[in-house]
Amino acid sequence: MRLRVCEGQGEVGHDVNIVVRKVIQDGGLEVGLRLYVLPGRCVALGWCGAVVVVRVVAQRWCSSASPRITTHYSVVPRETDARWADVDMERYEDEADVVVVGGGPAGLSAAIRLMQRAQQEERELRVMVVEKAADIGGHILSGACLEPRALEELFPDWQERGAPLNTPVTKDVFSFLTEKGRLNIPILPGMPMHNHGNYIVRMGHVVRWLGEQAEELGVEVYPGTPASEVLYRSDGSVAGVATGDVGIAKDGSPKDAFARGMELRAKCTVFAEGCHGHLAKQLYTKFNLRENCEPQTYGIGLKELWEVAPENHKPGTIEHTVGWPLDRFTYGGSFLYHLAEDQPLVSLGFVIGLDYTNPYLSPFQEFQRFKTHPSVAAVLRGGTRISYGARALNEGGLQCIPKLTFPGGCLVGCSPGFMNVPKIKGTHNAMKSAMLAADSIFDQLTDEKNAEAEWVEPVSYETTLRDSWVWKELHAVRNVRPSFHSPLGLYGGLLYTGLFYVLGRGKEPWTLKHGVRDAERLKPASEANPIAYPKPDGEVSFDLLSSVALTGTNHDHDQPPHLTLRNDSVPVERNHGIFDGPEGRFCPAGVYEYVPLESGDGVRLQINAQNCIHCKTCDIKCPSQNINWVVPEAGGGPAYDGM
């Protein structure tokens, strides 16, 4: 090994990975080199059997005090990594008419509608659905109170087909909580919380049933198949997706069992990833889809499924609350639904707007504290907690809907975001959007003008959506969520909802704005008050790790963390330095923790990626926007059963 002093630039005491080219007679060979920056010069250490010419190809800064965290190839390119030099990177290809990314309510509704149209018009059509969960429905988490309007349009005979809608709503309760008290608010027909005609469901089971219906119609459904990359044609149109590679070690090197993902190509690709899809984020940038809309605003929903004492069980009853334990400037509330199943089950959860400002707030801890309220604890005591989970949800409504189509594809469902926030419902709108998109795609595919076309864009989808009941519904409630940003907070929002939605159905001639992104709303720790949360009692409230154990989440430990950082030094220098490490509090699964350095001088961020339950909160709320969630290897994530 030879030491060679080269010219270079960099910060004193920092390392950077670079690539050099070893010059030999029969060509060039790229090898790895470590560069250590000293005052006034760079010292390069590398294997040198001949003249070495240093050429910086790519660099990634990593503080010597903060060891490398991110090894994922989306951040650390394999093209410049000598360990990948001789690895076969060819991918097999398959082709369909339509590829749907995401096997949730929207994705499956799109696929079903396409095949229904194909059968009605006696057309040959190949439709593929790829889903990252190991089983269809395994990553689905929702309240859920389902408004069956879209389902009735998709399958008018859904009852005869055995759809698992077993609990019609029989009673609505809406309350304002104080720390010890409860004030019930009357619910009248036409109010957002009026749920008669709707059904309490276990949404994962509904999605599993939709998957069965799709397969019966001839849709090819592939669970355990995460889409990791958008493919493009030479003209810039979307050509399909690539599935994730497998067999990559935690340090980013190829294992002996490495296997390349597949390329799934289609004339039209439907992105139905759910809230804050990682491929949708790329499409927003590629096609400038958010040019004429506001930044999306989000919430996090945390949920538990309980088997309660029979005397506390009231099948068909729905309860919602606002108020305690949140202050009036933090948007949120709870739900508690009594299911009619073989067991006396209740589904309860807590939703908190991710536009909260206090970096010390923990959504998980607020949820646990909520359950200690006398009126809630009375239902749970003597029962058994069965499941736990969490998921981000879109709350922006009409103002935040992006352009939905682009050359070769479209966005449907909770990916662009069609949730009706006052109702706390979005599945019916998500399904309807997907059905409208499917009709437009089918019309394009069967138009003789497109017989030889490589791709289609379902341009009529946006028009039909704006003419549908989805748009009318979202327009009526467009100002409810942003009204909570008034100086009165919760009280101002409730007052506005009563005056302009309940009485006027959103006919006011103005549209309120949400403002800045959720990530920008956190105050520095120096301007916020720490929150002292009570210790869990083990009966009603619980600790985080025992809760994560109930999610069934699992990832191969020996793979690059799929919670990637754009810059490994930002967590310590900015997130911890300014905001006192909010990652450890806003994550509902214990993925992020700051641990002391072995030297005892400072801390480092540790990412426990195996705990991740795919909620996407970190990608949304990180105040530095330094976290980029990408799909892990196939089959990773939670294993929810009817959540």
Task: Give the helix, strand, coil percentages of the chain, each rounded to 5.
Answer: 25, 25, 50
Question: Closest Cα to residue 282, out of 516, 631, 522?
Answer: 631
Active site residue 391: yes
Task: Report d(CA 608, CA 195) in Å as an integer.
Answer: 40
Question: Closest Cα to residue 409, out of 371, 459, 475, 369?
Answer: 459
Helix (H/G/I), strand (E/B), else coil: 505? coil
Active site residue 427: yes
Name the catalytic one among 427, 433, 440, 547: 427
Q: What is the 3-state secondary structure (H, E, C) of 150-187?
A: HHHHHCCCCCCCCCCCCEECCEEEEEEECCCCEEEECC
CB 304 within 8 A of CB 158: no
Question: Closest Cα to residue 312, out of 546, 537, 540, 547?
Answer: 540
Peptide bond into 58 cis (omega under 30): no
- The DSSP H or E segment spanning 438 is helix 427-445
Name the catalytic one among 145, 414, 618, 622: 618
Active site residue 142: yes
Q: What is the 3-state secondary structure (H, E, C) of 78-90?
A: HHHCHHHCCCCCC
Q: Rounded to 10 degrees, what is the CA torsion of 388, 563, 110, 288?
A: 140
Active site residue 618: yes
Task: Report d(CA 189, CA 149) in Å as an integer.
Answer: 17
Name the catalytic one among 587, 604, 617, 622: 587
Task: Report d(CA 198, CA 424) in Å as an integer.
Answer: 13
Active site residue 4: no
Which residues lie below 8 Å from residue 466, measured CB to CB, with a gap of 6+?
A: none
CB 145 within 8 A of CB 198: yes
Active site residue 21: no
Name the catalytic one among 391, 481, 521, 585: 391
Name the catalytic one among 42, 145, 414, 615: 615
Question: Closest Cα to residue 244, out of 99, 132, 410, 85?
Answer: 132
Report which DSSP code applies to 481.
T
Name the catalytic one among 70, 612, 617, 622: 612
* Residues labelled as active-site residues: 142, 391, 427, 587, 612, 615, 618
